[in-house]
Amino acid sequence: MYTGRFAPTPSGPLHLGSLSTAIGSFLRARSQKGKWLLRIEDLDRQRCSREASDSILKTLEIYGLEYDGCVIYQSRQVEKYREIIRSLQFRNLVYKCSCSRKRIKALGGIYDGRCRNTVHQENQNFSVRFRNPGTVLSFDDIARGHIETPAAESGEDFVLLRSDGTVAYNLAVVADDETEGVTEIVRGADLIPVTTRQLNLISVLGYRTPVYMHLPLILSGTDLKYSKQNHAKPVNESDPSLMCATAMKCLGLILPPDLCCAPPREQLSWGIKNFRIDGIPRNNQTVSY
């Protein structure tokens, strides 16, 4: 059975970009008569808050985005992730790294494997990195076609556990998609660069390989991606019909005139029937609101 998911980080309320991703993944799942799960990726304790999580749940309800089952919170799954790291450690597929972000930035942002064969003192501050075989260099996106990633990026020994003890995104997302039986991942195009890294980890762990679909990014009038880092405005909850119609337009779905002011549930119902992969724009979409 088709199983999709929406997995926001609760570091603030939903903005147009994240709403568009939620709607795109929802419409795809429902058009396939499949399940649509909700996962809150709240591992970063400094950035995430319960207030933001509650705000996201409220917004999804206002917009008629009804998920299946219970909400999964990553912060409650930490022991599962640590067990995976221990299993990789037993297979010599992880190692400790004391390199700073400053050093890696100076390298151009791609880690050079300096600590692969280094023995660290127990009192050192270190992260844990995946000993990446780098065998997966490309993947097929059902909306964008074949995508290749430079070998240096695909094969980078990326962090699984940060030096402050926080489990890293790339490990948690792979583990949760496997546990929840996600068959297709619909997410923003900004995550294309990490896909082959995740596929290398999936291969080593022996997990099922999901299908991928990356949606266009939504840019502001100044060509910045709508994101919390760029101080994107929260979605307008006082006029959800307009915002829902705008998000759907970014996915290539132009509502009939008589539905432009209809409640979001009616708009989404139309969207489920008319959702087409070949109608999704490949280019990023610029919207001001």
pLDDT tens string 109-151: 899 989 998 776 666 789 999 999 999 999 999 999 999 999 9
Report the pLDDT averaged over residues 70-79: 96
Q: What is the pLDDT of residue 113?
A: 87
Q: Which residue has the higher pLDDT, 239 or 124?
A: 239
**Which one, of 188, 186, 158, 185, lies nearest residue 171 by Cα?**
158
pLDDT tens string 204-233: 999 999 999 999 998 876 555 544 454 457
Domain ranges of the chain: 3-282
Q: Which residue has the higher pLDDT, 125 or 163?
A: 163
Q: How confident is the model at residue 235 (pLDDT cuts 50, 70, 90)?
A: confident
Least confident of 189-198, 205-214, 278-287: 278-287
**Which homologous superfamily is 3-282 in?**
HUPs (3.40.50.620)
Q: Which residue has the higher pLDDT, 219 or 248?
A: 248
This prediction's pTM: 0.93
pLDDT tens string 40-51: 999 998 899 999
